[in-house]
Amino acid sequence: MKNLSIRITLLAFCSILLLASCSKEDSPAPEFAETNLAPFSVEFDNIVGDRTLSFNNTTTPYVNAKGESFSISMLQYFISNIKVATADGKEYAVKQDSSYFLIQSSDKSTRFAKVRVPEGDYTRLTFTLGVDSLRSTMGIDKRTGVLDPAANGGHDSGGMYWGWNSGYIFFRFEGNSNVISDDVNGDPTGKKQFKYHIGGFGGYSAPTINNIKTITVDLTKAGIAKVRKDRQSNVHLFMDAMKVFNGTNSFKIAEHPNVMFSDYSVNIAKNLTEMFRHDHTEN
Amino acid sequence: MNKRHWIIILSISIFIFACKKSEIIQEKIETFLGFQKPANFPEPVYNFTANPVTKSVFELGRTLFYEARLSRNNTVSCGSCHIQSSAFTQHGHDVSHGIDDRLGTRNSPPIMNLAWNKAFMWGGGVYDLDLQPIVPITTHEEMDENLDNVLNKLRALPKYTALFKSAFGSEDITTSRFMKALSQFMVMCVSSNSKYDKVMRKEDNASFTQTELDGYNIFKEKCSSCHKEPLFTDGSFRNNGLSLSPVKDQGLYLATLLASDRYKFKVPSLRNLNYTAPFMHDGRFLTIGAVLEHYSGQVQNLENLDPILNQNGKLGINLTETDKTKLLAFLATLNDESFINNRLLAEQ
C-alpha cells in the first residue's frame, strides 16, 4: 500500500513535470519587440580536443595534430557585439555598451556573456571574437570595465591592452612545450613558453592586419534559444583551444612558438574561427 | 630737503613701484588662461570637447607628469626624460635612459605642440594623446610599471585623492581621469613664442636679419615640404635616408606591418633645436650641422627613401656652405626661450 502510494505520488510528480516541461516547450514565441528584454547568456566552456581544460598539466600533456605535447598556462579572449536572430529573420544586436566580455579560463565566473535580448525563439547567434575597430579607436572615456587599459594589471598578469600599438589582444593563449628551442627562435629564457597574442583591428589611418572575427552559430541542430522573462536561456558553447594548432592552418609549435602582431597571426586567427561549437541550449 | 632726503624718497618710491610690479606678475601667474591657440597656428587636432582644459585638471596633470610613482620603483617620472630646460627632451642622450639605467632604442621626443599631433611616437602606433602615456609607463626600458599599479599607488595617497577630487568632483582615480589630466598638461606645452612667431604675428616690431631671411627662403624652397610651417612638421612618416642603425629599427613598419612603411619615422618639428640635441630617431647626430651634412651628402638610397630626397638621380638636398650658414641662422629663430622658462610648465 505504502509502495503504491509512493508510486502514485511519483507518477503524479512525473506527469506534473512532464506537463510543466511540455507547457514550457510549447509556449509560443512572443511578439518580437525590441523593448521587451529578457535575460540571455552564452556560455564559453573551454576545452582542449577531447579533454577539459586544466592548467600547467605537464604530467598528462595535451598533444596536437603534429604530435607535439604541450600544457596551457593562460587562455583568455574578448567576445563582443552579440547578436541573435529568429527563424523568420528578426535580428537583435545587444547594446554596444553592454556587449564586451573578457572570457578568462582561469576565472570560471567569466565564462558567461550575460546580456538582455527581446523575448523570442532564436535560431542563430552571432558574436565577434575580439574588439571591433570602432571601439578599438574610441576615446578613453569609452574604455571602461574589461576594456580599461589598466584592467588585469600588467601584461604579465593577463593584461589585454597593447600600449605601443594602441589596440587590444583579442585572443591570448600561452603555455609550454618541450619542442620549443632555447634560442631566439624559441624561448631564450629556457622556459620553453609559447605565446599567441592575436590582435589587430585594421589600423587607424592605413589599413593593417585585421584579425577581428565574426562567429556565427546555427542553433537549430543542438537547440534553439527560447528567451523568456521568467527563465535564463543559456547557449552552451564548447571552445576548443586545440583548434589553435589543429585548425585549417595547422602549424607546429616548434616553428611558431611566439606569434603576436605579425603577418603570421592572420593564419592563426583563421583557426580561431573554428574553435566554437554549439553543444546544447539550456532553456 | 638735502640730497640724503631725496635718496630716501627715491628708494621708497622704487620700493613701492617694485611691489606694484610684482603684484601684477603675481596676478598674471594666477590667471589661468587654459589652452589658447596661437594666432599663427592652425586649429588643433586634439579633441578638446571631450577634455576641456581647466586649471585644476591641468595642475593635477602637471603633478602627475613630475610624479616618479608612475615608474615601477618610483624613480622615473615623465619629466625625467622630458626635461623642460631641454624643451622637454632628454638632452645629451642619444636614446632614452630609463629605469635601472636601462637604455631604449629611440631618442626622447619633445613634449611640444602635441595638440596638433595626429600620431605619436617616432614609429607611430599611437593615435590618441590620451592613450600615449601607457607606452612609457609600461615599456621595460622606460618606467617598467603597469597602469593598474600606478593608479593603486595614487589611490593610497591623500594628496592625490584630494587633487582628483578638486579636478573631477570626486576622489575616484580612474584610467580615464588619469589620462585626461596628463593630456591637459601635455597640450598646454605650447611653444609659439620664438622670434619666427613674432615676425609672423608682427609682434614687438620683430623682423628677420638679412641672413635669417635668406635662410628662411632656402628653408621654404628645400625643407618646408616635410617641415611644414608653422609647426615645422607635416606630421607624416618618412624615410629620410639614414643608414640602418645597429638595431635595424624598422620604424612605422612595426606598427603597421606594411612593407611601404619600413624605415619610416615621424617628421620631427624644427622648433627649439637649440635645446634638443641630439637629433634623429636614434639621436645619432649631435649637432644641426651634422643633420645638414646628412641631407647634403649622406642620404642613403634604402627601401622607401622619400622621393623628395631622390630627384633627377641625385640623392639628398643640394646645399652650399653658405646655404647651410643661412639655414642655421633661420633655424635659430625657432628657439623659444619663453617655452623652456615657462613657470606654468615647471615642476612646482
Q: Cα distance from A213 to chain B (closest Cα, Å)?
A: 19
Asked whether A44 and A103 are in contact (CB, 8 A), the reply is: yes
Do both B254 and B320 map to the same domain?
A: yes
In a domain, residue B1? The reply is: no
Q: Residue B124's closest chain A neighbor by CA?
A: A165
**Residues B168 and B199 both lie in one domain:** no
- pLDDT, one tens digit per residue, over B224-272 is 999 999 999 999 999 999 999 889 999 999 999 999 999 999 999 999 9
In this prediction, residue A3 carries a pLDDT of 57
- pLDDT tens sequence across B16-66: 555 455 555 555 556 899 999 999 999 999 999 999 999 999 999 999 999
CA angle B58, B60, B63 (to 5 degrees): 110
Q: What is the pLDDT of residues B314-338, one digit of tens each?
A: 999 999 999 999 999 999 999 999 9
The tens digit of pLDDT for each residue in A239-261 reads: 999 999 999 999 999 999 999 99
Are B76 and B150 in a shared domain? yes
pLDDT for the residue numbered B188: 98
pLDDT 10s digits, B275-323 = 999 999 999 999 999 999 999 999 999 999 999 999 988 999 999 999 9
Q: Residue B326 is part of which domain span? A: 195-338
Mean pLDDT of chain A: 91
Q: Is the pLDDT of residue B180 over 70?
A: yes
Of B119, B146, B257, the CB nearest to A263: B257
- Residue A23 — very low, low, confident or very high, per pLDDT cuts 50/70/90? very low
Distance CA A174, CA A187 (A): 12
For the segment B147-171, the average pLDDT, to the nearest whole number, is 97
CA distance B190 to B184: 11
Interface size, chain A vs chain B, as Cβ–Cβ contacts under 8 Å: 87
Domain membership of residue B310 (yes or no) is: yes
Query: Which one-letter amino acid corresponds to residue B7?
Result: I
Of A159, A205, A209, the CB nearest to B257: A209
CB atoms within 10 A of CB B40: 16
If we measure between CA atoms, which residue out of B270, B269, B281 comes closest to residue B243?
B281
Residues B264 and B176 in one domain: no
Q: What is the 3-state secondary structure (H, E, C) of chain A?
A: CHHHHHHHHHHHHHHHHHHHHHHHHHCCCCCCCCCCEEEEEEEEEEEECCEECCECCCCCCEECCCCCEEEEEEEEEEEEEEEEEECCCCEEECCHHHCEEEEECCCHHHHEEEEEEECEEEEEEEEEECCCHHHHCCCHHHCCHHHCCCCCCCCCCCCCEECCCCEEEEEEEEEECCCCCCCCCCCCCCCCEEEEEEECECCCCCCCCECCEEEEEECCCCCCEEECCCCCEEEEEEEECCHHHHCCCCCCCCCCCEECCCCCHHHHHHHHCCCEEEEEEEC
Give the bridge partners for A102, in sequence order.
A78
Of B174, B257, B258, the CB nearest to A262: B257
Cβ–Cβ < 8 Å for B329, B209: yes
Q: Are residues B99 and B228 in the same domain?
A: no
Task: Give the span between the Cα atoms of B87 and B109, in whole angstroms.
Answer: 9
Domain boundary, last residue among B191, B214, B241: B191
Flag the least confident range among B5-19, B78-92, B170-184, B192-206: B5-19
Interface of B with A in 148-167 (CB under 8 A): 148-151
Distance from CA of A175 to the nearest CA of B (A): 22
Extents of the domains making up chain A: 1-28, 31-282
Give the domain-ending residue among B160, B191, B222: B191
In this structure, are B133 and B59 located in the same domain? yes
- Contact between B335 and B275 under an 8 Å Cβ cutoff? The reply is yes
By the 8 A CB rule, do B168 and B57 touch? yes
Whether the per-residue pLDDT at A19 is higher than 50: the answer is: no
Give tens-digit pLDDT for A39-73: 999 999 999 999 999 999 999 999 999 999 999 99
To the nearest 10°, report the CA torsion of B91, B97, B101, B105.
Answer: -140
B4 pLDDT band, cuts 50/70/90, is low
User: What are the C-alpha distances in Å from A123 to residues A54, A86, A87, A111, B307?
Assistant: 32, 5, 6, 21, 56
Scan for cell 653658405, then name that residue.
B322
State ipTM: 0.81
Residues comprising chain A, all counted: 283
Note whether residue B7 is domain-resident.
no
Nearest CA in chain A to B134: A163
B44 domain residue, yes or no: no
User: Across the interface, do B131 and A204 touch by the CB < 8 Å criterion?
Assistant: no
User: Which band of pLDDT confidence, cut at 50, 70 and 90, is reported for residue A31?
Assistant: confident
Q: Are residues B167 and B204 in the same domain?
A: no
B302-334 as b/e, with b when 16 or more CB fall inside 10 Å? eebbbeebeeeeebbbebeeebbebbbbbbbbb
Q: Does A164 contact B135 at a Cβ distance shorter than 8 Å?
A: yes
- Check residue A135 and give its pLDDT: 92
Last residue of one domain, picked from the residues B191, B223, B243: B191
| Cα B114 to Cα B231: distance, rounded to the nearest angstrom | 10
Amino acid at A280: H
- Residues B239, B259 share a domain: yes
CA-based nearest distance B266→chain A, Å? 14
The answer on B173 and B126 residing in a single domain is yes
Residue B15 lies in a domain: no
Quote the pLDDT of residue A1.
47
CATH number at residue B155: 1.10.760.10
How many structural domains does chain B have?
2
Residue B200 shares a structural domain with residue B187: no
Are both B180 and B282 inside the same structural domain? no
Inter-axis angle of helices B55-65 and B175-187, nearest 10: 90
pLDDT of residue A12: 55
Nearest to B175 by CA among A101, A102, A155, A146: A146
pLDDT, position A15: 53
Q: Using alpha carbons, list the distances in angstroms from residue A70 to A107, A253, B101.
A: 21, 9, 37
Nearest residue in B to A158, CA atom? B146
User: Is residue B163 situated within a structural domain?
Assistant: yes
Average pLDDT estimate for B200-219: 97
Within-domain flag for B22? no
Is any Cβ of chain A less than 8 angstroms from the Cβ of B257?
A: yes
Residue from A136, A152, A165 to probe the interface with B (highest B Cβ count within 10 Å): A165
Q: Which chain A residues have any C-beta within 8 angstroms of a chain B C-beta?
A: 137, 139-141, 143-144, 148-155, 157, 159, 161, 163-166, 203-206, 208-209, 261-263
Whether A167 has a pLDDT exceeding 50, the answer reads: yes
**CA distance to partner chain B, nearest, from residue A199 (Å):** 12
Looking at the structure, tell me whether residues B150 and B134 fall in a common domain.
yes
How many CB atoms are closer than 10 A to CB B162? 12
Length of chain B: 348
Give yes or no for a contact between A120 and A87, defined as CB atoms under 8 angstroms apart.
no
Closest chain B CA to residue A142: B176
Please state the three-class secondary structure of chain B as a single string: CCHHHHHHHHHHHHHHHHHHHHHHHHHHHHCCCCCCCCCCCCCCCCCCCCCCCCHHHHHHHHHHHCCHHHCCCCCCCHHHHCEHHHCCECCCCCCCECHHHCECCCCCCCCCCHHHCCCECCCCCECCHHHCCHHHHHCCCCCCCCHHHHHHHHHCCHHHHHHHHHHHCCCCCCHHHHHHHHHHHHHCCCCCCCHHHHHHCCCCCCCCCHHHHHHHHHHHHHCCCCCCCCCCCCCCEEECCCCCCCCCCCECHHHHCCHHHCCEEECCCCCCCCCCCCECCCCCECCHHHHHHHHHHHCCCCCCECHHHEECCEECCCCCHHHHHHHHHHHHCCCCHHHHCCHHHCCC
Q: Does B45 contact chain A (CB < 8 Å)? A: no
Output B208 or A2, whichever has higher pLDDT: B208
The beta-carbon contacts of A54-59 under 8 Å, at least 24 apart in sequence, are A55/A105, A55/A106, A56/A175, A56/A176, A58/A176
